[in-house]
Structure 1
């Protein structure tokens, strides 16, 4: 059996970490829009190329645009049409495993309770809708018995050198700025990129894991307040938490929608919302009780990388 693996989106944050995670056991080939010494292009991705590979991991996609400047068509061209194209090629090849990186946002923009795989789909953004369209296309196709197909729905992924909302919180703590959202008692799931890489490797190697849709998250959710305290612990800095009225924060967010300050309405919402994701199905399928890294350990590694 070949040890070759194709990864689209290999130059992205997840692709970079995954290729490093797998490279000791597999020969990794990146798939890109252009052919080069390092990558093959989608145009030359044919049956012969796929036949020489054990798995195709489709990470390439258009990420959620926080500035809301992208057109819906852009999301569907990349997240749906490209996925449809490569999945059709996979079905007509001898490649064994197809893994599609979707998102919890394909199911819900907001969550009451805990999101599991039985939750009814109701995406609210073009990003989520395009990911769901790709999921539905994959699930509509009959998969040969000798193949395995997995749709992964990760929540917010973080890891060494990955910026984003964690970087915003890191800036609060590292600069000694008081954390102003003490009034919010939320619970949010996160996903360490190392836990994600562990799951993907298991899916490639463990033939007993059934094809299907799987949510991917760390084992326990964290409140943003606890997250900030963990950041302070990681960089050995005292954290000051303020209990500002929510009405004041709403006004600050609206100001940030207009002026270039670190906080705007969407960032406040993301930092303070509840979004709990169950990972029970994937852990049961793998046969484990917990993922390699705890939520706190994963956060610690990510924040330490900011210091470096």
Structure 2
């Protein structure tokens, strides 16, 4: 099977390309922008497609391709410069992805795996009430709104065509080279910084990048994955307190946790303009991934502890 991977130079893309290269049933082609080719494994075939928008020319990239894994997207922007962020998200994620799907269907591509986000369902869950595939959608920011609209647009494109769509909704994905909040937490633990996170009794689902790419590979060939939306996680939910402890253990370092009350954390975060970040640390966000396991017979190959060990190998003393 010849597979085109968009967003191949990103965090998940690099891991996916490397994983598919180990499987003899796949030939891999990477779709890249003007830069970042040096981050691909040596010798990987690649095609420059430029930016993802309404004018992207996918003809060369799609030639002879059997399946597409669509990872490229406009993601969260730390210092947003766009006058209308939602419009910017839509132009890339919705319009650009719709064009890709249309051209893939015209080219005779058989399978499209689209990486969405659990954020299309919302930012949090009630205790012990995880999101599942039948949960209502409640996106709360431009990124998640555009992800939901992209799902809907792709479903419209493939309807009546020979292109089978699989949508995956992951939570926070961690692994070697990940950035953002996970990396910031890892750096704090590595430095021995005391963290006021020792009294948080929440539950959050996570996903090791090795588990994600294994499921993507399964979805590329499994007949039952066609036209399905699947939640995916490691299958073991952790409190923020437990996550810090497990990160520290993966690094062979002590976890320096202070038992600060949650109300104190939220008050301080609100005063510092970081209330949303504190809510993510203190709130629940759980995923029920049983459908992927039962429908596809998929078992995550990596445990949380092993996933953290692989992600944090550079932090070990």
TM-score (norm 1): 0.89
> How far 1:256 sits from its partner (Å)?
3.7
**Partner Cα separation in structure 2 for residue 49 and residue 176 of structure 1:** 47
CA RMSD in angstroms, aligned pairs only: 2.3
Counterparts of residues 201-216 of structure 1 (less than 5 Å): 201-216=217-232
Counterparts of residues 44-123 of structure 1 (less than 5 Å): 44-46=57-59, 50-67=62-79, 69-70=81-82, 71-112=85-126, 113-123=129-139
**Partner Cα separation in structure 2 for residue 90 and residue 69 of structure 1:** 32
**Partner Cα separation in structure 1 for residue 28 and residue 172 of structure 2:** 25
Contact 2:4 2:61 in 1 (8 A): no
**Structure 1 segments unaligned to the other structure (5+ residues):** 258-263
Moved more, 132-141 or 118-127: 132-141
* Residue 266 (structure 1) aligned to one of 262, 276, 279: 276
**Partner Cα separation in structure 1 for residue 161 and residue 95 of structure 2:** 25
Name the residue aligned to 1:286. Answer: 296
**Partner Cα separation in structure 1 for residue 190 and residue 34 of structure 2:** 40
Change (3 A) 1:211 1:96: same
Moved more, 267-276 or 6-15: 267-276
* Residue 296 (structure 1) aligned to one of 305, 312, 315: 305
**Partner Cα separation in structure 2 for residue 10 and residue 108 of structure 1:** 27
1:39 aligns with 2:47: yes
Contact 2:5 2:71 in 1 (8 A): yes
Name the residue aligned to 2:28. Answer: 28
Q: Could you say what secondary structure the match of 1:56 adopts?
A: strand
Contact 1:29 1:40 in 2 (8 A): no
**Partner Cα separation in structure 2 for residue 80 and residue 142 of structure 1:** 14
**Partner Cα separation in structure 1 for residue 162 and residue 93 of structure 2:** 26
1:14 aligns with 2:12: yes
**Partner Cα separation in structure 2 for residue 90 and residue 188 of structure 1:** 36
> How far 1:33 sits from its partner (Å)?
4.3
**Partner Cα separation in structure 1 for residue 230 and residue 176 of structure 2:** 24
> How far 1:303 sits from its partner (Å)?
1.8
Contact 1:50 1:94 in 2 (8 A): no
**Partner Cα separation in structure 2 for residue 146 and residue 81 of structure 1:** 21
Change (3 A) 1:119 1:69: farther
Count of equivalent residues? 298
> How far 1:41 sits from its partner (Å)?
1.6
Counterparts of residues 130-279 of structure 1 (less than 5 Å): 130-144=146-160, 146-257=162-273, 264-279=274-289
> How far 1:30 sits from its partner (Å)?
1.9
**Partner Cα separation in structure 2 for residue 287 and residue 146 of structure 1:** 25
> How far 1:236 sits from its partner (Å)?
1.6
